Structure 1
Amino acid sequence: MSYVQDVRLARDYVGKQVHEVPVPALILDRRKIHDNASKLLEAVSRQGINFRVHVETLKATEAVREALNHGRGCNAVVVSTLEEIRNLVSLVEEGVVTDVLYGTPIGRSQAKELAYLKNLFANLGATLRFVVDNVSQVNFLLENSSSWSVLAKVDAIDLIRQSTETSNGTTNGTSDGKMTGTVNGRQASEQDGSNSAIDATDTFTTEFQTLINTLVNEPRYHNVQLFGFYCHAGASCGTNDVSITQAHVDKELDMLIKASRFARKVQETRQDRIIRKATLVGSNPDRVLTPSPHNTTYHLLIGATPTIHDFTKLPSRERMHSQDVVEFHAGSYLALDLRQVSGDVSKDQIAVTVTGEVCSFHPTRREYIINVGVLALSRESGFELPGIAHIRGVDDWIVTKVYQEYGVVSYVGKQANPKLPFEIGDLIELYPQNACITSSNHRLYFVVDGSDTVVEIWKPWRYW
């Protein structure tokens, strides 16, 4: 059915039923997408915190509009590929997107095009920023343009190391939701602005310290704006336990607060050096000083879909950190998948499914063969919910193995002789474990709106 690769011909399926489209096919429920986006954006608004949409889950113009509530919910996004940036240009022109963060550390081969896109976005009234975790990446950028806006990435390994401190009571949340940290036995409140509490050698990698020291102290980098600090709670996708995901939030925020304090300490050291030098030569230090480090505000980007879902259940923590701007980012919330299914998220809320066909049955192994494999799903198995995919409307039969073009459906229930649910030739609808990978495997999205009738065809942005 190669003709379906042409979106114009695929539009012939608009008005058809889902079971009439060629399989495997990716089905999106537009109504569920809208409901999922509205629910989260309203919850974030109630909390009074900033939010940034990660667009990697459903890489399509129409999906990003829904995720941003057409620009009325928020205007900031995170991207993972150049292709995503290129395809955001139309949304930037519309004013729906005004702030874009490239959330993957860059390579030299990308820097020239990124410089062009940064200037293009600036001319359209938007800002393109970059995550960096090494000075070399900043050098790649400077080879192509003199001014950039970057966020320093805090390594997740640091968070793992900090988790042992959390269990010992060294990372705490106050009763009003403000974060405090204990470093080297000293209690440091986020309000006191104390930089002396930060021992960088115990907290951050050498690469991170070098990066911050270079950006602050070296004249060549003074046109590189350190916008803030970034971390992604990807590990939170491995659990549905609210206490664990909340611990991820606390650890991330605590680490980024420490990162911002470390940066201010480096700025303060530079200011002191300038003052001493100016005093020695008898000049006025005020003429060369930059604004006080204590007045510097950074953006602290944390989160993932499980952490933001659980965070919005808690009492308002608008004042969780007053000196900097705390911003959550997430993407899977738009579609949801089996990783997010918990007490508050049901399979019925998952907006992405994959249709396939039962092609064979092996009675001795009690296994069905379906024409949906790695290239239509993914190879990820579940944490809380086992298997690679679950079947809509059928319990105890799940996709347990996948090969390149086909998969295996096995019985995982407790009955000795279960009733066989399928005939060869039956169509089935699968809930994926990972909506991000699954959606990236398909050339077209067949869109429904709360029913089984195809109402639109969306063409996603693919590759790099």
Structure 2
Amino acid sequence: MTGEPLHELPTPALVADRHRLTRNIADMAALTDRAGVRLRPHFKTSKCLQVARLQLDHGAIGFTCATPAEVTLLQDAGVPDLLWAHQPIGPAKVGFAVQANTKSTVTVALDSVEAATPLASAASAAGVRVPYLIEVDTGLGRAGVAPDRTPALAAALARLPGLELRGVFTHEGHLARHVADRDELRTAGRQAGTTLSEVARTLTDAGHRCETVSVGSTPGADSAPFAPGITEARPGTYVYYDANQVALGSATADRCALTVLTTVVSTPRPGTAITDAGLKAMSSDASVHGTGFGTITPDLAFHTANEEHGYLSGPGCTSLQVGDQLQVVPNHACGTVNMWSTIHVTEDGIVTDRWPIRARR
């Protein structure tokens, strides 16, 4: 049923403000257009085809996926150009990468010969060429080859059958370490983009194909894509934003489109209120400040959570009563969305739609 006021929803409930969502999508499209790069958003934030269609309507060329389930969902929806930004390790994932490329273009991530060899064998046996990007570590310290080792890796991968190099990519997730200084964050973002661009130029000079030079993060969206030589940006969280993005200076609080609606179920003692939104509503994703499970108001702290209960403290608790409703901005939109199967879309406080969240694994 749609048309009911937000406060009549059973809680906890995941809610998206349509006006903010649409504005966020339009603004990111305009930002990447100014940078002169293609926009390939990360689908893991929304896991929702309705959101994806809005992104495509605003110029996205395709999507970045985290899991085979996301790839399958988008392929079945007719999205033809996908990046699976994960190493396809193990027989099941190798087989999936090969099979997916019999349907449409699904580029995969590689950062070692060990990861590439089984994929190359399977692709060659099936008569399929699997496109790939080399993942480069520009500072995060997660997956990815070091910049100075990328040419040697590219040369080794070029000797394998069944694979086709398309370029390089990075995830500049380390920008979240610069929570206290937005200018410092932007400098680090531009450096990540510059490093990746230099790697791409080295590969091109060595005769390798490198048409895609792709950076990806919401905190770095106004810096990394603007480095000369970058061709593509892959932000994800921007569709909703969240408390961490506000803390990082990526957005102001009035841009946060995603909230969890929750009800106060107990006020057991002075200075404490208990809500019905716990870990299973918010996820356990940490704040970049290190504490709490989401943001409500400056005088309320969401400091502790059990599976089905959230514990609030602070001066604002004195005015809370059992039955009061609150909207919590999650720390991390992506992790919170993955806890839910439905998102309630609202306009001016009225529920206008319900969109399914799919491909949760």
Structures share fold, TM-score greater than 0.5 = yes
AA matched with 1:404: E
Distance 1:254 1:130, change over 3 A: same
Matching residue within 317, 321, 324 for 1:426: 324
- The answer to whether residue 255 in structure 2 is matched with residue 352 in structure 1 is no
2:185 alignment partner in structure 1:
245
Distance 1:355 1:243, change over 3 A: same
Matching residue within 310, 315, 327 for 2:232: 327
Matching residue within 231, 243, 247 for 1:338: 243
SS of structure 2 residue aligned to 1:112: helix
Cα separation, 1, equivalents of 2:349 and 2:294: 20
Matching residue within 344, 348, 355 for 1:458: 355
The percent identity for this pair of structures is 22
- The answer to whether residue 1 in structure 2 is matched with residue 18 in structure 1 is no
SS of structure 2 residue aligned to 1:336: coil
1:410 alignment partner in structure 2:
313
Maintained 8 Å contact 2:107/2:132: yes
Cα separation, 1, equivalents of 2:61 and 2:231: 16
Distance 1:213 1:344, change over 3 A: closer
Cα separation, 1, equivalents of 2:328 and 2:272: 16
Question: How far did 1:227 drift?
Answer: 0.8
SS of structure 2 residue aligned to 1:138: helix
Question: How far did 1:24 drift?
Answer: 1.1
TM-score (normalizing by structure 2): 0.88
Distance 1:419 1:446, change over 3 A: closer
Matching residue within 139, 157, 171 for 1:232: 171
SS of structure 1 residue aligned to 2:312: strand
Mapping of residues 432-443 of structure 1, within 5 Å: 432-443=330-341
Matching residue within 87, 98, 101 for 1:115: 98
Question: How far did 1:155 drift?
Answer: 2.3
Question: How far did 1:309 drift?
Answer: 3.7
Could you tell me which runs of 5 or more consecutive residues in structure 2 were left unpaired when the two chains were aligned: none
Maintained 8 Å contact 1:40/1:309: no
2:217 alignment partner in structure 1:
304
| Bigger Rg, which one | 1
**Alpha-carbon deviations, 1:107-130, whole Å to 9, x = none?**
222121222221112xxxxx2100
SS of structure 2 residue aligned to 1:88: helix
Matching residue within 248, 266, 269 for 1:363: 269
**Farther-moved stretch of structure 1 (418-427 vs 33-42):** 418-427
TM-score (normalizing by structure 1): 0.70
Question: How far did 1:139 drift?
Answer: 2.1
1:80 alignment partner in structure 2:
66
AA matched with 1:117: A
Mapping of residues 102-181 of structure 1, within 5 Å: 102-108=84-90, 109-121=92-104, 127-146=105-124, 147-157=129-139
Question: How far did 1:261 drift?
Answer: 4.1
Cα separation, 2, equivalents of 1:42 and 1:305: 14
Cα separation, 1, equivalents of 2:222 and 2:280: 29
AA matched with 1:452: G
Question: How far did 1:311 drift?
Answer: 6.2
Maintained 8 Å contact 1:308/1:328: yes
Question: How far did 1:53 drift?
Answer: 0.7
Maintained 8 Å contact 1:159/1:252: no
**Alpha-carbon deviations, 1:226-246, whole Å to 9, x = none?**
111111011223426332222
Distance 1:402 1:136, change over 3 A: same
AA matched with 1:33: L
Query: What count of residue pairs does the alignment treat as equivalent?
Result: 352
AA matched with 2:174: A
Deviating above 6 A after TM superposition, structure 1's stretches of 4 or more consecutive aligned residues are none
Cα separation, 1, equivalents of 2:19 and 2:73: 23
AA matched with 1:150: Y
**Farther-moved stretch of structure 1 (247-256 vs 38-47):** 247-256
RMSD: 2.6
Question: How far did 1:212 drift?
Answer: 1.7
Question: How far did 1:310 drift?
Answer: 5.2
Cα separation, 2, equivalents of 1:59 and 1:241: 31
Distance 1:390 1:421, change over 3 A: farther
Cα separation, 1, equivalents of 2:319 and 2:272: 11
SS of structure 1 residue aligned to 2:45: coil
Distance 1:358 1:105, change over 3 A: same
Cα separation, 2, equivalents of 1:133 and 1:236: 21
**Alpha-carbon deviations, 1:7-37, whole Å to 9, x = none?**
xxxxx3x111222222111011122111100
Cα separation, 2, equivalents of 1:158 and 1:383: 15
Question: How far did 1:386 drift?
Answer: 5.5
SS of structure 2 residue aligned to 1:307: coil
1:213 alignment partner in structure 2:
155
